[in-house]
Amino acid sequence: MLEGAVRVLVVEDEVKLASLIRRALLEQGMLGDVAINGEDALWMAGAVPYDVVVLDVNLPGIDGFEVCHRLRLDGVRTPILMLTARDGVDDRITGLDTGADDYVVKPFDFNELFARVRALARRGPVERGPVLTLGDLSLDVATHTVTRAGVEIALSTKELLLLEVFMRRPGQVLSRYDLLEGAWEMDYENRSNVIDVYVRYLREKIDRPFGIETIETVRGAGYRIRAAAEQY
């Protein structure tokens, strides 16, 4: 074993490619272990303090997006670099949103791959973001997980951003402009009704099923999320 070497978990179901990456890591003075499916990746990354996980998206069974998401839910903060044959922006955003730190599109240059691995190893484990709570409503900023009374609630990226803006300023009246500024790029018109639409979406998911009113309308001013003591 190379003392003090960077240790990398390579999650890749193409055995030949996984072997090539592992051999090249050794040539670079790094140690490489291989998992060929998502299930193995989950237990290996949870059991061994790797410096970096190189994670392929297209895995049999549990795909790379789900592996990344579960690792973050399990509290594994190891930097994750995703390998993907998908060059679409949406796929890259999905990878980053599930907790990945970087990505490389196949086919890739080995020198670039290892430069990115070294950069992530120097950065070290990702600091866990805060968990925001209001009563029984909880938002884990790092894992993008929302729960109410222990029940996980699936929200879109925009819904998560809007809820985070609300939960960071409980009890405060926020204008539509405040909410646009916090959750949207500023190419939206201030008079756009996009905020009203997404507030309705949030209410349908975090309030209505639980028989509670968390987000209230303040006529002529905007919206506010009730502080915990006001919710019951």
Q: What is the mean pLDDT of the chain?
A: 85
Alpha-carbon distances of 99 from 47, 76, 122, 126, 202, rounded to whole Å = 19, 10, 18, 10, 22
For the domain covering 131-230, report its CATH number: 1.10.10.10
**Residues forming CATH 1.10.10.10 domain(s) in the chain:** 131-230
Mean pLDDT lowest for which of 3-7, 42-46, 127-131, 209-213? 127-131
Helix (H, G, I), strand (E, B) or coil at 10: strand
* Identity at 154, one-letter amino acid code: A
Q: Where in the chain is the domain with CATH 3.40.50.2300?
A: 7-123
Q: What gap in Å lies between CA 232 and CA 225, rounded to an integer?
A: 13
pLDDT value, residue 33: 94
The pLDDT of residue 2 is above 50: no
Q: In which band, very low, low, confident or very high, does the pLDDT at 217 lie, cut at 50, 70 and 90? A: very high
Q: What is the pLDDT of residues 43-90, one digit of tens each?
A: 999 888 899 999 999 898 899 988 988 888 777 889 999 988 766 666
For 85-141, what is each residue's pLDDT tens digit? Answer: 766 666 667 777 777 888 888 888 999 999 999 999 988 776 656 788 888 999 987
Structure tokens at 140: 């884990």
pLDDT at residue 42 greater than cutoff 90? yes
> What pLDDT does 202 receive?
94
Options 1.10.287.70, 3.40.50.2300, 3.40.50.970, 1.10.10.60; CATH of 7-123: 3.40.50.2300
pTM assigned to the model: 0.57
Task: Supply the pLDDT for residue 87.
Answer: 62
**Tally of CB atoms within 10 A around 16:** 8
Please give the C-alpha separations between residue 23 and each of 9, 29, 96, in angstroms, as whole numbers: 13, 10, 27
